[in-house]
Amino acid sequence: MFIIKFEYEDRMIKTKNNNMITDKKKVFLTGPLGSGKTEIAINLALYLNSEDPGKITLIDLDMVKPYFRLRSVKEPIKKSGIEVLTPEGPYQYTDFPIITARMESYIISPEKRVIIDVGGETVGARIVGRYRGNIDPGEVEVFYVFNGRRSVDNNLSEMCEDLEQIRRVLPFPLTGIIHNSHLMNESTVDILESHIDQAKEISNYSGIPLRFHCIREDLYKEASKTIEGHLLPLKLLLIPEWL
């Protein structure tokens, strides 16, 4: 096992309380399949834990995709001081919805600070609806993750419709767009830059602010020289050796 550790720079996003990204207690990550929600959820938790050690919990609510789930890398994340809640034992890799009592209690507790990885598409986003009326909306942040390199999206109208379909089934408003255009290990700074205008257009169309961009950690310094706005370096933990 290893401890995941980052050194973050001043360019990272700060809120009024000096926290990166958000000072909300409940942070949901939504978006289409293949957008990178789980990697971002892990890295948000790592960053927030660096600001508020020992008080961040990462919760796996992905009931859609059996691969690239948070539960497959939970042990090294826990070694980094982050509590990780997923289905346990024989239910760890099941493909039907399981929310343990502990997962549920952390999500609805007004005291717990949680990052929640939600499954892709509207199928995954619908599960958030069970928390309508159980969570203070003022303590909720819901991010939409956009990846311009998803092969199923061919034009801007389809990309905007992806967002609108998810927005329609959520019980809370979408509060920010995360731009994460990538091709996993084949990603480059040029790939991220080539979709920034699309991310801005989706933001303008939807009225949801573009909050920050993501880039693989080894490309972060190169990207910071040319990309305006906030950047989150990503340590990729979910890509198997055969990809």
We report the CATH number of the domain holding residue 83 as: 3.40.50.300
Q: Is residue 4 part of a domain?
A: no
Q: Is the separation of the CB atoms in 203 and 181 below 8 Å?
A: no
Q: How many domains does the chain have?
A: 1
Looking at residue 239, its pLDDT comes to 62
Looking at residue 134, its pLDDT comes to 95
Q: Is 138 left (phi over 0), alpha (psi -120 to 50) or beta?
A: alpha
Q: Is residue 178 part of a domain?
A: yes
Using the structure block, give the residue that is written with the tokens 């992905």. 62
Looking at residue 156, its pLDDT comes to 85
Tokens of 26: 């409940």
Looking at residue 69, its pLDDT comes to 62
Q: Is the separation of the CB atoms in 29 and 146 below 8 Å?
A: no
Whole-number Å distance between alpha carbons of 163 and 178: 12
Q: Tens place of pLDDT for every residue, the chain, 243 residues?
A: 334 445 545 445 444 444 457 889 999 999 998 899 999 999 999 888 888 889 999 998 887 665 556 666 778 888 889 999 988 777 666 666 678 899 999 999 999 999 999 987 888 889 899 999 999 999 999 999 999 998 666 688 888 999 999 999 999 999 999 999 998 888 999 999 999 999 999 999 999 999 999 999 999 999 999 998 888 999 888 765 544
Q: Is residue 121 part of a domain?
A: yes
Q: Is residue 14 part of a domain?
A: no
Using the structure block, give the residue that is written with the tokens 């927030």. 48
Vertex 71: Cα angle to 91 and 120 (nearest 5): 95
Residue 84 has phi, psi (to 5 degrees) of -125, 125
Looking at residue 34, its pLDDT comes to 83
Q: Is residue 187 part of a domain?
A: yes
Residue 210 has phi, psi (to 5 degrees) of -80, 115
Q: Is residue 131 part of a domain?
A: yes
Q: Which domain holds residue 145?
A: 27-234
Looking at residue 87, its pLDDT comes to 81
Q: Is residue 230 part of a domain?
A: yes
Using the structure block, give the residue that is written with the tokens 């801005």. 200
Q: Is residue 113 part of a domain?
A: yes
